[in-house]
Amino acid sequence: MFIFGEKDIEANLLAYINNPNGISDGLNYVEDCDGVDAYRRVFKMIFEALGQSQHYKMMTGKKIKS
């Protein structure tokens, strides 16, 4: 479940990774507006919603339980 402001962070992250130029255009992402922890939390939630928790854990170096 999203907390206040996380829906915007999700939209920003998805717009950023779908940007064909691979750079911030300043419209969907502002570097200093939100805390890093909020972006990390939403990033993890996106992977969980897609059923890709193991991929997230692999990328972040977390141990995967067998």
Per the structure, the complete domain to which residue 39 belongs is given by 6-60
Tell me if 14 sits within 8 A of 43, measured CB to CB: no
Q: What is the pTM of this model?
A: 0.58
Tokens standing for residue 4: 């206040």
Query: Is 65 within the bounds of a domain?
Result: no
Distance CA 57, CA 64 (A): 7
Residue 36, Ramachandran bin (φ over 0: left; ψ between -120 and 50: alpha; else beta): alpha
pLDDT tens-place string over residues 17-66: 777 665 655 665 555 555 778 888 888 988 898 899 999 999 888 876 65
> Structural domain tally of the chain?
1
Query: Is 30 within the bounds of a domain?
Result: yes
